[in-house]
Structure 1
Amino acid sequence: MSDYTTISLRKEFVADVEEYIEDEPFGSVKEFVKHVVVREMEADDAISETEASQIARKLRDLGYMD
């Protein structure tokens, strides 16, 4: 038996993702996000701490993160 957790995302972000994946082979936002996260975890291209901070700042500025 698997345990699950819930991740909260802003409704606006989810709507943007739904629009983005409309013509893609993903059945749901959850499926798409899982695909992207797994792909990034398996990628050899690591980002620096500075790049991660810049990305987080941009996401906060866009309202996707608190």
Structure 2
Amino acid sequence: MPEQSGDTWSMDFMCDVLVDKWRFCTLNIIDDFILEAIVVEAVYTIPAIWVIQILERTIHEQGKPTAFG
């Protein structure tokens, strides 16, 4: 259990299809203590390099978490 904000983050991908048949995905990074989404990236496709860049940017802006939940 996290004891303060920034202790642990959870990361999840979600995908859906729009009415016009376009598929999109979201990458969600959640702070487990405050249960707040600190990142929601919505794109048509999320290559691994983008995930790495998003994580590096988030760590730079928010600080590195103790662990990922």
TM range (shorter): 0.3 to 0.5
Tell me which protein shows more strand as a share of its residues. 2
Ranked by relative contact order (alpha carbons within 8 Å, sequence separation 6 or more), the top structure is 2
- With normalisation by structure 1, the TM-score equals 0.35
Tell me which protein shows more helix as a share of its residues. 1
- With normalisation by structure 2, the TM-score equals 0.34
